[in-house]
Homo-oligomer: A and B are copies of this chain.
């Protein structure tokens, strides 16, 4: 594992000499090869699927494993899109000339070596490799054991695309041995890996944070709230809540909790529940909310404490009545994972207080929480959605895979 780390560090230096066109050419060649070598990939993928079926893996997990010509075309199109984005590396900013004449600026450079640990989806292998190459980072990839054969086939093609362009294959290395002990070894490579990026469920993130000697970009867990203020437009608020809850309930920016101002609860809650029930949503309502929903339907249950600390990832929604915006902000501060939280209101003062006091990666006024996403926010490519505070928060694009160095150019300047 140390050797893998050393090779990656050397590759970073070699990548530093490549320009944007050379890196983009790797991505374009990779896009071509994925399509032209489709058969080779699908044979490997079939092996993984057969093994998964034999071992009784759930249909949902098997679906994540599957590649087919359409999915490969999609991955290929993504690669062409990433190639078309501007290259962040080398960008200069914060120029200044000091009073002594020394010229100073910051220059964007790669983070270094990325350690990317992911689960069953084999498309992450290509996605992670492409984002690393685009940003001149080296990457050490550790994919799920269920996708081992597929990942081996994909990495072979990544290496071919690198070689076509005289790029070091060590820029993208894959941990070929599925032994889980390798993850622990990887998390200890502090001298070689600059950042660990887990891509997967909450358990994987937690495991990396608990076992890593390296900074982990944690994210992907969103207990998301919308507060319906006294002055909210009912019809529009219901549409936003419907969208945030039902448009794609399995993802981290989907809505988990609705807080409703006491003054409108009796009117608003029954209408909300009627509309969302029609789309199969079930509810967990705290006492006051529950009393506003009489007579109860079968899809409404009394909430317990844990229901306000649960990321549902399904068509379940927690409901709570609050006395005012203060209680709403207090509740969010205590229970949110600081991913995406919003207020629905016509009151500008309340909107401003919510923006100032709710400290989440993304804070919304009169919009669905579903927008927290690199694509939606216009970043072009998404690396992760960070819920940590340092380095980057919320959707991370290419720029968030970089850091900077200070460059000072003088005429033999000395410090007085």
Contacts and interface: CB of A to CB of B under 8 A. Distances in A.
Given A194-B390, A376-B415, A413-B366, A406 B361 contact: yes
Given A406-B394, A408-B363, A356 B17 contact: yes
Given A371-B413, A405-B359, A391 B391 contact: yes
A409 B111 CA distance: 32
24 contacts: A96-B378, A236-B412, A237-B412, A240-B413, A242-B414, A243-B414, A243-B415, A342-B408, A344-B412, A351-B409, A359-B405, A361-B406, A362-B406, A362-B407, A362-B408, A363-B408, A364-B409, A367-B408, A367-B410, A367-B413, A370-B415, A371-B408, A377-B406, A394-B406
Contact of A247 (B243, B351, B364, B414): B414
Interface in A226-253: 233, 236-237, 239-240, 242-244, 247
Copies of this chain:
2
Nearest to A357: B16
Interface string A389-416: 1110111000000011111111111110
A362 B415 contact: no
For the residues of A in contact with B, the DSSP-based class is: mixed
Contacts of A351: 409
Contacts of A104: 377-378
Interface string A129-144: 0000000000000000
Contact of A366 (B342, B370, B410, B415): B410
Contacts of A391: 390-391
A403 B393 CA distance: 8
A372 interface: yes
Interface string A47-64: 000000000000000000
Contacts of A412: 233, 236-237, 239-240, 344, 366-367
A232 to B, nearest CB: 9
A220 interface: no
Interface residues of A, number: 67
Contacts of A408: 342, 362-365, 367, 371
A368 interface: yes
A333 interface: yes
A406 B396 CA distance: 11
A26 interface: no
Interface of A: 12-13, 16-17, 90, 96, 98, 102, 104, 107, 109, 111-112, 194-195, 215, 233, 236-237, 239-240, 242-244, 247, 333, 342, 344, 351, 355-357, 359-368, 370-372, 376-378, 389-391, 393-395, 403-415
B368 A415 contact: yes
Contacts of A367: 102, 408-410, 412-414
Nearest to A342: B408
B16 A390 contact: no
A403 B378 contact: no
Contacts of A356: 16-17, 90
Q: Which 9 residue pairs spanning A and B have beta carbons closest together? A: A367-B410, A243-B414, A236-B412, A370-B415, A367-B413, A362-B406, A390-B391, A391-B391, A365-B409
A98 B17 contact: no
Contact of A368 (B109, B376, B414): B414
